[in-house]
Amino acid sequence: MDKSLHLDSVIKTHQITKEEQLLNKHKDKNKEVKEALEQKYESNIYSPFNSGSYAKNTAMNTKFDFDMVCPFKRNAFGSNGTLKQMYEDVFDFLYEKYKDDANVRKQKVSIGIEFFADEDGDIVKIDVVPGRELNQDQYKDDENLNLYVYYKYGNFDQGSERIKTNVQAQIKNIKDRATKEKDSIRKVIRLLKVWKNTKYNNPAKSFFLELITIKAFDNKDVSGNLWGKLETVLQYIRDEVTGESFTLKDPGNGSNDLIDTLTTTERQTLSDDMKNMLERIEDNDENIKTYFPENSKFLEEEESDNKYENKGNGFYSNPPKNERFG
């Protein structure tokens, strides 16, 4: 089996444009939520913008990632207002507005709005990330924001008042890579997201996988066909992520280290996952399908002459007397 051919099909069948209807529903809801926030907070809010994978063009159709950053003015909740107040106020507003149409819940640094399935069974999910500029009117100049950490997030403690970040710089970080390299990076990121989706409750955030992929491209000779590139990135994660001195700087704020979003145990698990994956694929190429499955919804049917066959005497068989499985 040609592993790169399979990986190309994985990307092709996960392309977001394949799900045009659902994508349009997300765009419509996104617009509606944005306008509701602007109407509610008027001059206390800068224009909300998308920061998730859709903005970075690394989205997949099995899980849309619409993150909307809401940049608030420093004094939006009073000159002594806290980040907690900002977070709670936005939550209360969204909860009241959407409680009959969606599950609205508090997440690590965002508020998740998961709309109930519509008549087509489609579910739209938007994560709203409230952030506050560092000083009054400074956001226009530096685009820096402080976020509120609602519950324990790797090594960031619950209630910790701030993760300072610059989301625009994060987006730019991926958008700005040289075109040729950017396509390879995006493909590898997409594949890692497909893998992440096969794992139950994987603690590695998509943004973490994006940054570590970029770091692998910066530090290793990532070349060859698509499998060769992916393999190099997997090896890099396996070898480096547990290192004591390993850092993953947030391009939005050099003093944020994204490695702190994972605990030591989670880092070890991630490294072990990479090791197992590489070993199993080395054992048998077919195992790549377990870790990087195609999206069967969009597989193109292929005609073939292959058949289930017998050895010439019909299909009736007696199984071998003793057989051992492991």
Partner 1 sequence: MYRINELGLTLEIEDDLLCSLIDIGIKHYPNEFGGFLIGNYSETQTHLIITNTILPNKFKGTPYLFERDTIGIDDKLKQFYAEEPKKYYLGEWHTHPNNLPIPSSTDINAINSIANHPEVSIKNPLMLIIGYDKPKVELGFYVQFKNKLYRYE
Residues that bind partner 1 (CB under 8 A): 1, 9, 200, 280, 283-284, 286-287, 289-290, 293-294, 296, 299, 302-311, 313-326
Shortest approach of partner 1 to residue 4 CB, angstroms? 14
CA–CA separation, 9 vs 91, rounded Å? Answer: 40
Residue 50 CB, shortest distance to partner 1, in Å, is: 31
CB of 190: closest distance to partner 1 in angstroms?
A: 18
| Residue 63, φ and ψ in degrees, nearest 5 | -150, 100
- Indicate the residue type of 138: Q
Torsion of CA 36, 41, 43, 48, to 10 degrees: -50
CB of 18: closest distance to partner 1 in angstroms? 16
Which lies closer to partner 1 via its Cβ, residue 161 or residue 286? 286
For the chain, the farthest-separated pair of C-alpha atoms sits apart, in whole angstroms, at 87
Q: Distance between CA 194 and CA 293 in Å, rounded?
A: 7
Q: Which residue type occupies 305?
A: D
Tell me the C-alpha distance between 84 and 216, whole Å: 36
CA distances 31 to 80, 188, 235, Å, are: 31, 30, 40
C-beta of 82 vs 284, nearer to partner 1 = 284
Q: Name beta bridge partners: 147.
A: 131, 163
Pick 164 or 289: Cβ nearer partner 1: 289
Amino acid type, 272: D
- Smallest gap, in angstroms, from Cβ of residue 3 to partner 1? 12
Q: How far is CA 92 from CA 28, 44, 160, in A?
A: 22, 17, 20
Q: How far is the CB of 299 from partner 1 (least distance, A)?
A: 6
Nearer to partner 1, 78 or 325 (CB): 325
- Smaller CB distance to partner 1: residue 221 or 323? 323
DSSP 222: -
Nearest alpha-carbon partner for 253 in 108, 157, 156: 156
Please, which residue, 200 or 245, has the CB nearer to partner 1?
Answer: 200
Name the residue nearer to partner 1 (CB basis): 141 or 302: 302
Which residue's entry shows tokens 């300072």? 164
Answer for the pair 214, 173: CB distance below 8 angstroms, yes or no: yes
Rounded to whole angstroms, how far apart are CA atoms 217 and 93?
42
Q: Closest CB to partner 1 among 81 and 293? A: 293
44: three-class secondary structure by DSSP: helix
CB of 265 to partner 1, least distance (A): 16
Placement of tokens 């806290």 in the chain: 82
Smallest distance from partner 1 to CB 282, Å: 12
